[in-house]
Structure 1
């Protein structure tokens, strides 16, 4: 089940006047990652002051009880529900035209699965489900399904890059295994992908012991990604590390922030620094540094700490971990490390993100100065696209709490 703290996300507050005036009419578009739907929450600036995101806790009270047809709710200055609207004009969800599989030449050699053949087992987090399907031999497969519902340029690029990286990575015991591309059923558009499921939870759980050999494996796989393939993961953290219970090896996953060469390479997100902060957090269970923006962090913040208190079961002394880490960092931080990364001998490459043809279809947006209809192309609301007869894949689903109850009743 999705962590309640991660379930809702606001696109911000929108004011029909000065935000300082408590009577100014205000609305906030809030995403519910559990139901994969956006709801407009309306009220005044008094209940929705700038940057406080009060709309999240307000919608959380009602989200599981709203009809799927509800596009907007209104609350009073106490946060109490005063109205609900099913008017589709209130729905500000942007139209997301997924790319046809036939247009993705870089993916043609990948196995595929239709979305309708996936059976939901759990919702692990935003954009991540645990699902199962039967393969061509009728054998059930339990996998992780990763997808994107946001029409945001960066999010679309991240999804495209991660898909291409994972499907191009050579098999490696310390990297998550790519499984299949997921296609929606009607027009075979690419809506996500699946990877191997590894049970047991991530190393973010301080109850999971940590071995010295896993640090060695982590540094080795980072060297392989950086210096052989020219890939910078840029999000190495305990939450993105598994221990495979069958192989007893560490496994790195979640490549949606990964960079290839200079493309999407961010300051402060280099993998060497991330390994340092990751080991510190693994040993001490001190998560304070993970809350510091990556551009404000440097490894001296933790390496200068004389003693790292051990708050996790380890198979070796802390000094052994730190000595190995320091030697590895010194090697990687030597002159020419960035050049070796940029000139990796087996750099992974893939084509740019294609543009779906749907955005070339003209739609009416307002009028010109002389009162004539203004026709344009590009991004549009989902409501506009549907009025024009464009195909829209719909992600909406019941809240998981209701799905679990229905599943229990079906068993009885």
Structure 2
């Protein structure tokens, strides 16, 4: 189940006047990772003071009771609901232009699975579900389904890079590799991917004794990534380390922040430092280093040594750059020019604008997880 503190994310808004004036009308958009929907909250600056984040706490109180059709909720200064709206014009969800599988030749040799073939079992976190499907032989497969349902430029880039990185990884006992590319059912657009599901949880929640062989496996897989493939994971942490119960080997996953050579390289997030602090936390249970966003970089202090080896790795992984979605080239009207002519722009657009233009929009909205669990329990009892 998605942790309550991770469920909501404030996605901006606006003030119709001075934000410091408590009477100024305001609206805040909040993304719900459980129901995969955007909800607009409307009120005054008194209940939505700038930079306070009250909108998340407010929505959390009633999100599970809203109809799926609700797009906006109006509140009074005491936080009480005074109205709801199902008007599509209130929908601030940004259009996510997923690429048709046929237009991404770099993925042509990947195995695929239709979204409708996945059965949701649990929601592991924002953008990650526990799912199952039956393969071509009818054998059940349990997988982690990772998807990008919420538009942000950096998230589109991360999703593109991670999918291609996983697809390009050579077999390795300590790396979680790509299982299948997930396509939506109408136009076969790429909406995510699956990886093998390893039960038992990550090392940050398991209470198991440290084994020295894991240190050896972790350092070896980091050397393999850095010095053989030219890949920097940049998020080595206990939450991204699993122990495979079948092999008892350590497995590294989650390449969201991975860099390829200098591309997306973040100063202070090198893998050597990540290994040191992850092992320190595992051995001592001291977690205070996890709150430090970046730590000293071995590579930064040795620019002609390990960094040179990393940038000149002999088997560097390559994949094409993220293309501009064709939908972005289609202009849409935003107001009028001074001459009264339509002001046409291209690029990012809201979902409602894309739909007005006849562009295909995949809808992620789903029931709250508590309803899903109830449905599953009722199905079990009826068997």
What is the TM-score with the length of structure 2 in the denominator? 0.96
Cα-to-partner distance string for 1:244-271 (whole Å, 9 max, x where unaligned) = 0000000000001100000000001100
User: Equivalent residue for 2:353?
Assistant: 384
Tell me, what secondary structure is at the counterpart of 1:281? helix
Cα-to-partner distance string for 1:17-47 (whole Å, 9 max, x where unaligned) = 1111111111111000000001001111111
User: Equivalent residue for 1:363?
Assistant: 332
Instruction: Verify the 8 A CA contact 1:100 1:356 in the aligned structure 2.
Output: no
Structure-to-structure mapping, 1:52-201, within 5 angstroms: 52-201=52-201
Tell me, what secondary structure is at the counterpart of 1:143? strand
Instruction: Verify the 8 A CA contact 1:144 1:196 in the aligned structure 2.
Output: yes
User: Distance in 1 between the 2:124 and 2:225 partners?
Assistant: 26
User: Equivalent residue for 2:37?
Assistant: 37
Between 258-267 and 5-14, the greater mean CA deviation after superposition: 5-14
User: Equivalent residue for 2:222?
Assistant: 222
Q: 1:175 offset after TM fit, Å?
A: 0.4
Tell me, what secondary structure is at the counterpart of 2:277? helix
User: Equivalent residue for 2:296?
Assistant: 298
Tell me, what secondary structure is at the counterpart of 1:283? helix
Tell me, what secondary structure is at the counterpart of 2:31? strand
Cα-to-partner distance string for 1:256-307 (whole Å, 9 max, x where unaligned) = 110000000000110001111111111222222211221xx337xxxxxxxx
Q: 1:14 offset after TM fit, Å?
A: 2.1
User: Distance in 1 between the 2:209 and 2:158 partners?
Assistant: 32
Tell me, what secondary structure is at the counterpart of 1:94? coil
Cα-to-partner distance string for 1:104-142 (whole Å, 9 max, x where unaligned) = 111111000000100000000000001001111111110
Q: 1:189 offset after TM fit, Å?
A: 0.7
Q: 1:206 offset after TM fit, Å?
A: 4.9
Tell me, what secondary structure is at the counterpart of 1:374? strand
Gap regions ≥5 residues in structure 1: 300-328
Cα-to-partner distance string for 1:208-246 (whole Å, 9 max, x where unaligned) = 222111011000000000000000000010000000000
Q: 1:374 offset after TM fit, Å?
A: 2.1
1:400 aligns with 2:369: yes
Q: 1:408 offset after TM fit, Å?
A: 2.1
User: Distance in 2 between the 1:131 and 1:38 partners?
Assistant: 23
What is the TM-score with the length of structure 1 in the denominator? 0.89
User: Equivalent residue for 1:375?
Assistant: 344
Cα-to-partner distance string for 1:32-75 (whole Å, 9 max, x where unaligned) = 00000010011111111222211111101111111111001011
User: Equivalent residue for 1:212?
Assistant: 212
User: Distance in 2 between the 1:104 and 1:376 partners?
Assistant: 26
User: Distance in 1 between the 2:333 and 2:14 partners?
Assistant: 24
User: Distance in 2 between the 1:19 and 1:185 partners?
Assistant: 44
Q: 1:177 offset after TM fit, Å?
A: 2.4
User: Distance in 2 between the 1:281 and 1:124 partners?
Assistant: 23
Cα-to-partner distance string for 1:374-403 (whole Å, 9 max, x where unaligned) = 222211110111122211000000000111
Distance change (3 Å), C-alpha of 1:384 and 1:335 = closer
User: Distance in 2 between the 1:265 and 1:298 partners?
Assistant: 14
Tell me, what secondary structure is at the counterpart of 1:410? helix
Tell me, what secondary structure is at the counterpart of 2:110? coil
User: Equivalent residue for 2:309?
Assistant: 340
User: Equivalent residue for 1:311?
Assistant: none
Between 364-373 and 392-401, the greater mean CA deviation after superposition: 364-373
Q: 1:335 offset after TM fit, Å?
A: 5.3
Gap regions ≥5 residues in structure 2: none
